[in-house]
Chains A and B, each alone.
Chain A
Amino acid sequence: MESLTTPPPIRRLPLEDVEAATQVGASPWAPSNGNGAAAPGRFTAARRSIGAPQFSIRRMEIDDVSVSYADREAVKSVSLPVRQGEVLALIGPSGCGKTTLLRSLNRLTELTRTATLRGRILLDDVDIRQIEPTALRRRVTMVFQQPNPFPMSVFDNIAYVLREQGSRRQRKKALEPKVHSALERAGLFEEVKDNLDHPALRLSGGQQQRLCIARALAAEPEVLLLDEPCSALDPQSTQVIEDLIVKLRDDVAVVIVTHNLQQAYRIADHVAFMYLGELVEYSSATSLFGAPRERRTQEYVSGAFG
């Protein structure tokens, strides 16, 4: 039974640059950029042809931010820029504070009673503590690890975001264009346009997650936070979502937390490596993976720990 079909090749970060190209090129879901042969060299094989960012505008500024839960410090004096036009990936082993940092960007950490934040986070040069939380969270929206559409129809999931708080006002007809455009931006419209009134929880996992992205986009945010959006999904859905994230970077600043180093390498323009709450290294994806400055980064991306 074992040698009837060739098992799919396992994508991995090449340490020694020799075998990388062939390994990835044979993958059925890897994009065909010249059958792998045209892309030799460190890391470039796994990289999709996403191209360099066209522009980058600074939207958020994390300035010396520390977050503590009771007396445990989860994030220690981190400073980072968040730019529109780019994808920023936060990587690091479990418990390194990357999700906490992400959640503090739209003040979701405040839902945890014991959490305290020091330092400043600026959104378009305004301290986010001066913005009303509900207003802030419409400008900095978030997609979670588990797909979590609301228990209503596909249409209502988006309409819920567009309507005022708990209100049901604004008729379906009036909201239709906005709902459709949100679904289109998330690349879901073609698949669900005939079933907009079906329950959202009946969609497949990948579709549910794209619905969650559509929902997050419907609020017309400036920053989109993604907390390991693909970790519950199969490889095909993951690729669809990765393509989508890259497409979105021009419209919103994208911050993605990921456990998956290859994913960070494939889609991120800048990568921040965090370890035990500290920001160890922040640089462009190619240099962080290709020529890390810090020893801990080097060890982590090469798989020595994590």
Chain B
Amino acid sequence: MTNTSVATPQTAPPPSVTPSPPDQPLPGKGAVEGSATWRLSDRIGLAICWGLGLLFCAIAAAIVVYLFVQGVKFLKPSMLVTPATAGFTESQTGGFSDAFIGTLIVAAMGISIALPVGVGVAVWLVEYGRPAALARVTESTIEAIAGIPSIVLALFGTVIFSSTALGFLSRTSEGVVFGRSFFAASSMLSLVALPLIVASTREGLNAIPQHVREASYAVGKTKIATTRRILLPSARPQVATGAVLGLGRIIGDTAIIVVLLGATQNFAPTDGILPLNYLRGAGTTLTNFVYEASPTGNLNQPQKAYAAAFVLLMMVLVLNAAADVIHRRARKAGTWSH
């Protein structure tokens, strides 16, 4: 109601400007509040925050720079295409192509299980969530999985994948199921990525205002059509972030690789048709190779450990950059007001 606020030019009072007392500091350039007027404890707190921030930046920079220097020094492109072989010196033992390809396989398989399941769970939790009790149980289950150490998942995985019923997923000899294969490792690794994907997708779906869903229903669309065409595309940046974080965890995991992939330094295919024989067999990944090649490992060839660690780091950095690009593109496309 505007009746009460009729203002004519003559009666409009000028904005009252009281001159500030001379002892008060004038606002600085850009009106940034200085900490000079703060209490001492607040200023110490601010200084600690600054210090810690710089410290973490320094640590991250040190890791990246150190690995970059070592990586450039020791990495030869041939290492990515030469499998590891037995030998006495570092020049005789080949590269780590099997580990490199193993990482790619594990990442691809793990994420292709975790992504659809994770997105599905998140959609169900946010958009349906009935019965409420089941939704609550699902939520705490996901949280529980997120909290389980991967070595425990690995141990549990050996129980599952050594069972006769799942014998077709790994090497079997005389009725004994080996239980270690790319299938077994990827399945368990997908559990490592799952909570991240669920959390991130939920965040994305929750950020969509309710009226956007209703706008789709209000032109006669079903819930499924709305989810497919409106909600999931809107949540794509967050889904991508979850996938990238999940991939990072999969690539970086070592415990499950050691226990469930056999951690052989080369592929150990079973018999059978081409892709399946490799996937049913044991193998290794870069993380395991770095561990083995480090001075504490069996291979003890630190130069190759640095080279492999550098490759690993680059993969993760590229993934993070990709997530960043997706986010920036989404921000450019605009969003709704709530």
A residues lining the B interface (CB < 8 Å): 1-3, 6-7, 10-13, 15, 106, 108, 111, 133-138, 141-142, 144-148, 150-152, 160-161, 165-166, 199, 201-202, 212, 215-216, 218-219, 225, 232, 261, 302-303, 306
Contacts and interface: CB of A to CB of B under 8 A. Distances in A.
Contact of A161 (B212, B214, B219): B219
B15 A2 contact: yes
A10 B12 contact: no
A6 B8 CA distance: 9
Given A2-B14, A3-B9, A201-B335, A306 B230 contact: no
Given A134-B221, A137-B218, A151-B234, 13 more contacts: A1-B15, A2-B14, A3-B9, A12-B3, A108-B218, A111-B217, A142-B218, A160-B219, A161-B219, A166-B228, A219-B220, A303-B1, A303-B3
B215 A148 contact: yes
B278 to A, nearest CB: 36
Interface residues of B, number: 36
Contacts of A151: 230, 233-234, 333-335
A306 B219 CA distance: 32
Nearest to A5: B9
Nearest to A225: B218
Contacts of B228: 166
B36 interface: no
Contact of B334 (A11, A108, A111, A199): A199
Contacts, number: 114
B333 A10 contact: no
Contacts of B215: 142, 144, 148, 150, 212, 215
Contact of A199 (B212, B218, B333): B333
Contacts of B3: 12-13, 15, 302-303
A184 to B, nearest CB: 18
A166 B229 contact: yes
Nearest to B214: A108
B5 A10 contact: yes
Q: Across chains A and B, which 4 residue pairs bring their CB atoms closest together, nearest first? A: A201-B334, A166-B225, A138-B220, A142-B218
B144 interface: no
A232 B316 CA distance: 43
